[in-house]
Amino acid sequence: MAGLKVVDMNKVVPERKDPPRASWILISEKTVGAQNLALGVNETEPGSMVPEHIHETEEEVMLFLEGQGKFITADQEIELKPGICVYNPPGARHQIVNTGTTKLKFVWVYAPQLKSHRL
């Protein structure tokens, strides 16, 4: 899959997860043949969360676009609002909680991409 690729998020079926949230995987090896990173969009429902987890070898960047929430680590709580960008290094346990009344929407990037994003 060499060359320029264009993905229309409106045509991508999101992965629905519990607690209630959705993730659109836009750029990955599975979608466009990307080898070094993955990019997508997450929408977490009001009162829901991305449960505590860890990425052992992947760097992660999240740019928050809509809503309010908290990014929680072992020693920090970061208030989330549109315009906040968070870098999470490999091995850092974290969770994201929607504390607002609307969806918490953010763009995420992994480098390297998660195993689930690969063929």
Give the closest residue to 19 by CA, choosing from 69, 61, 65.
Answer: 69
Give me the pLDDT at residue 31, please: 97
Phi and psi, residue 28, nearest 5°:
-165, 180
> Per-residue pLDDT averaged across 23-47, rounded?
97
Q: What is the pLDDT of residues 79-112, one digit of tens each?
A: 999 999 999 999 999 999 999 999 999 999 999 9
pLDDT of residue 21: 97
For residues 65-73, average pLDDT? 98
pLDDT band at 2 (very low <50, low <70, confident <90, very high): low
Residue 117 DSSP symbol: G
Q: Where residue 8 falls among pLDDT bands split at 50, 70, 90?
A: very high
Number of Cβ atoms within 10 Å of the Cβ of 119: 7
User: Which domains can be identified in the chain, with CATH numbers?
Assistant: 17-117 (2.60.120.10)
